[in-house]
Amino acid sequence: MRIYEKVRAYIDENDLKQAAVAQKAEIPVDAFNEILSGKQTMYAEDLRAICHALNVSPEMFIDRPGEDHAALLRI
C-alpha cells in the first residue's frame, strides 16, 4: 500500500473529514484531495504537515523491513 493510501485509510477509519485535516495541515483542500487520490505527489513536507494535523508520527505510514505496524497503531 502506498503512503497516500495509508493516510487516506487512516482518515477514513477514524471518521475524520478530509477537509478538516487539510485545513489543519494548511494544505488547500483541492490539493489535499489530489494527494490522497494519488493524482498529486505527496512530498515529505506534505506528509509532515498531515501527520502533525493527525497528531501521529510519519513513521506510521512508512514501511520499514521487519517493523510491526500493529504496534505503531497502539501508540
Q: Report the pLDDT value the prediction gives residue 63, as an integer from 0 to 100.
A: 81
DSSP state letters, the chain: --HHHHHHHHHHHTT--HHHHHHHHT--HHHHHHHHTTSS---HHHHHHHHHHHTS-GGGGS--TT--HHHHHT-
Q: Report the pLDDT value the prediction gives residue 41, as an integer from 0 to 100.
A: 95
Q: Report the pLDDT value the prediction gives residue 75, as an integer from 0 to 100.
A: 43
- pLDDT 10s per residue in the chain (75 long)? 899 999 999 999 999 999 999 999 999 999 999 999 999 999 999 999 999 999 999 999 998 766 655 555 554
Q: Report the pLDDT value the prediction gives residue 64, as an integer from 0 to 100.
A: 73
Alpha carbons within 13 A on the beta-carbon side of 31: 12
Matching CATH number, 3-73, of 2.40.440.10, 1.10.10.10, 1.10.260.40, 3.40.50.1110: 1.10.260.40
In whole angstroms, give the CA distance from residue 73 to residue 33: 24
